[in-house]
Amino acid sequence: AQSVTQPDIHITVSEGASLELRCNYSYGATPYLFWYVQSPGQGLQLLLKYFSGDTLVQGIKGFEAEFKRSQSSFNLRKPSVHWSDAAEYFCAVGGFTGGGNKLTFGTGTQLKVEL
Amino acid sequence: DAEITQSPRHKITETGRQVTLACHQTWNHNNMFWYRQDLGHGLRLIHYSYGVQDTNKGEVSDGYSVSRSNTEDLPLTLESAASSQTSVYFCASSGAGANTGELFFGEGSRLTVL
């Protein structure tokens, strides 16, 4: 069965500081990996995704993530956080099986940005 | 622009009542999904569909049902609402084929069961 662990429930960083959100996954084959962001009262927006190829992927809003197969990790990073980055972040894993691509999500990390 | 819409956005109902949440997408996507979001649990998959007349159970399907009679719609029905089904429900869709996989989400339906 596929699963995702986000070990940090809450993270607080100062504006301008760097950020790393952790994600570990379990999946029986080559995974598709995603990071989504959710602002309060909103749906989820895709930040970035990894299917294959270069293990360092760039996303929107200056975010990047690195796929490390040996560590089963897909950590999200940003070199300098802005106050508008405060939101909840979800890591997800899936694959193309049975004609579709259902995703399993982690429990999320709530990011607070101190001014 | 293509979009995915959910209705109602907010609903309060009573225990034992049947409730249907609507989901309509104009992406022409084959794949549609229903998730529920609860504090401490993230998003959990309820049901999903990979095409017309196809439906599948997710990890938390008990007490829910879906039907897919056309490409655009995947209504979620709570047969007899329970307080444990108080949650925020998200519908999502994605295109078919490998190297897709990105889910497009609706804005959610907040359901309260009293």
Residue B41 with chain A: CB contacts under 8 Å: 107
- What letter represents residue A22's amino acid? R
**Rg for chain A, CA atoms, rounded:** 14
Q: Chain B: which residues have CB within 8 Å of chain A?
A: 30-31, 33, 35, 40-45, 48, 50-51, 58, 90, 92, 94, 96-103, 105-108
B32 contacts A102 by C-beta, under 8 angstroms: no
pLDDT given at position A94: 86
Q: How far apart are CA B111 and CA A100, in angstroms?
A: 28
- What letter represents residue B9's amino acid? R
Model pLDDT for residues B80-105, shown as the tens digit of each residue = 999 999 999 999 999 866 556 788 99
pLDDT given at position A41: 82
Task: For residue A99, name the pLDDT band (cuts at 50, 70, 90).
Answer: low
Q: Is B96 helix (H, G, I), strand (E, B) or coil?
A: coil
Contact state of B45 with A102 under an 8 Å Cβ cutoff: yes
| Residue B29: closest C-alpha in chain A | A100
Residue A96 with chain B: CB contacts under 8 Å: 97-101
Contact state of A99 with B50 under an 8 Å Cβ cutoff: yes
Q: How far apart are CA A62 and CA A77, in angstroms?
A: 9
Contact state of B100 with A101 under an 8 Å Cβ cutoff: yes
Residue A46 with chain B: CB contacts under 8 Å: 102-103
pLDDT given at position B95: 83
B97 contacts B108 by C-beta, under 8 angstroms: no
Q: How far apart are CA A19 and CA A111, in angstroms?
A: 10
Model pLDDT for residues A44-90, shown as the tens digit of each residue = 999 999 988 889 999 999 999 999 999 999 999 999 999 999 999 99
Please determine, for residue A100, whether its predicted confidence score (pLDDT) is greater than 90. Answer: no
B76 contact partners, CB below 8 Å, separation of at least 6 = B20, B21, B23, B34, B46, B47, B64, B65, B66, B89, B91
Contact state of B101 with A34 under an 8 Å Cβ cutoff: yes
Q: Is B68 helix (H, G, I), strand (E, B) or coil?
A: coil
Q: Is A60 helix (H, G, I), strand (E, B) or coil?
A: helix
pLDDT given at position B20: 98
Model pLDDT for residues A34-44, shown as the tens digit of each residue = 999 999 888 89
